[in-house]
Structure formats: structure tokens, C-alpha cells
Amino acid sequence: MTTRLATRFKACAEQGRAALVTFITAGDPDHDTSLALLKALPGAGADVIELGVPFTDPMADGPAIQAAGLRALKAGQTLAKTLAMVREFRAGEADTPVVLMGYYNPIYIYGVERFLKDAKEAGVDGLIVVDLPPEEDNELCLPALKAGLDFIRLATPTTDDRRLPAVLANTAGFVYYVSITGITGAATPDADVVGQAVARIKRHTGLPVAVGFGVKTPAQAAAIAAGADGVVVGSALIDALRGSLDAGERATPATVPAVTGLVSALAEAVRGVARAAAE
């Protein structure tokens, strides 16, 4: 069975361009605004959507995404509500892949078997669980693959050629290359270094390689798009959302347009690299 992720990355490759992967936190700043934003992302140019599952101890996330998670939790967001959001999104959008990104604890509490069943039925396509290493594949990775969900693994600048095969062994959908060492949104990636790293990873796998952590501007997205199969943008979108909130951190009429406007600019930049390459 061909997955939505495989179909979307194949379509982007056939167009000679990278995919734009956008990250938002489910329930930030509230459920209804977050759902409206989720529904608006494909039209703004998002090829793949990563939906963050808020958690109280997000060790890999920088201040922007940590704050987004806290806003979402304060507004009452739960894993069950996140799955319901995906279900409602799927009612009107059948093609755009949705990947849940987060930590194992909420899934463990929900119950792995129940979670995988509910996630698949809701229309989730893949999982990124940043605190489960390959040594723990029996916990979630292998059951997820059996349930028909892609399990996307992170590779980092410190993942050497000895470690890489273990990281890639059960990876599906795409490989997420973390372009910097440290937390999300903390630094700016060097496009040349990233291109070399992507080429190294692709010597070990036929999967698409998407690059994230630190990509903030359309110009940076375009630079990364020249050497990667996908460009992931998260903290910059969360910053745009935060800048639209009122003094009480509540949504305003500017909230959804603030994010979709940036997504459109990023999408144009990523597609611009393809047009230049195709000419």
C-alpha cells in the first residue's frame, strides 16, 4: 500500500523540488484556532504537516515550541483532542500527510495499542517520537509499522556512519535530519554542511531526507531546499503565531493569517528553487 507520505514526496520529486513540511502545536493557542490553522495549511502551501502533541517536559524543543505546548495544555489540549483534530481535518482534506510529533509519555499513558488504532482511524500518517531510540523499537516503532503508520526517525550531525544503520533500520516515510546540535530554533543551519550531510544519509537509504531545526526565513528555506528532499519549519511559525496573540495570549483575527502568510512565503521560496533548477 502506498502511503500519503510516499505519494507526496514522490510528487514533489517529480516536480523537481523539495517538500515544505510545516510544524504547529496542536491546541495552540486554543483548540478552535489551532484546528482552523491546521485546515488552512495545505492551501497556504504546506506539503506535509507535523502536528506537535503538547507535553509538560519537551526536552528537545526550544523556548518557542515549549511555550506553545504550555499554551495548548493550559487551554485543555490532550492527545485524544489532537486525534479528534486530525479526524476533523481529514473530513475535508484527503491528501496532505499528517505526522504527529512528540514524546512517548502521552502515548504510553493513552495505551500503545489503543493509540495506534485511534491514530490510524483518525487519518494520521506517521509518528516522530523524539525520546525513543532504536534500541526501544519494540515499544512503539515496530507496532506502529505493523499498524500501517510510518515511524520517522531523527538523524543528527553527531549520528556517524556506525550509528546511522541502526537509526535507519526501521525508519519509514522520511528521515528527519536535525541540522544543528541542540534544541529547536536555537541556531541557523549552514546549507553547504547540510547538503553534505543529506548526501551522506542518502548513501544509506532510499528514503527522502527532510531537514529541520533552525530554518526560519524563506531565504534559508530556499538554501536548504537546494540540497534536501524536504524543508521543515516549526519555530518560525510558532513565533509568527505568538506575535499575533493579545496581551492575554489569546488568539486574534490576525492569528491564522500570520502563520499562513509565512507558510505561503516559505512555499514560494522552496518552489522557486525548483523553478530555477528546472530552467
Q: What is the DSSP string of 11-33?
A: HHHHTTSPEEEEEEETTSS-HHH
Total domains, the chain: 1
Question: Which CATH number characterizes residue 251's domain?
Answer: 3.20.20.70
Whether the Cβ atoms of residue 174 and residue 9 lie closer than 8 Å to each other = yes
- What is the grid cell recorded at 55? 507535553
d(CA 196, CA 100): 28
- Across the chain, the runs of DSSP E, i.e. the strands, are 19-25, 48-52, 98-102, 126-129, 150-151, 153-155, 175-178, 209-212, 230-233
C-alpha torsion sign, points 184, 187, 188, 193? negative
CA distances 140 to 67, 87, 113, 155, 180, Å, are: 27, 21, 9, 18, 26
d(CA 250, CA 153): 34
- Across 9-164, the runs of DSSP E, i.e. the strands, are 19-25, 48-52, 98-102, 126-129, 150-151, 153-155
| Residue-range definition of the domain harbouring residue 177 | 4-9+17-278
d(CA 50, CA 213): 13
- Which pLDDT tens digits describe the chain residue by residue (279 residues)? 689 999 999 999 999 999 999 999 999 999 999 999 999 999 999 999 999 999 988 777 778 899 999 999 999 999 999 999 999 999 999 999 999 999 999 999 999 999 999 999 999 999 999 899 899 999 999 999 999 999 999 998 888 888 899 899 999 999 999 887 655 555 566 778 888 889 999 999 999 999 998 889 999 999 999 999 999 999 999 999 999 999 999 999 999 999 999 999 999 999 998 544 443
Residue 49 has a CB neighbour count (10 Å cut-off) of 24
- The catalytic site residues sit at 50, 61
- What is the grid cell recorded at 170? 526501521
- Overall residue count recorded for the chain in this entry: 279
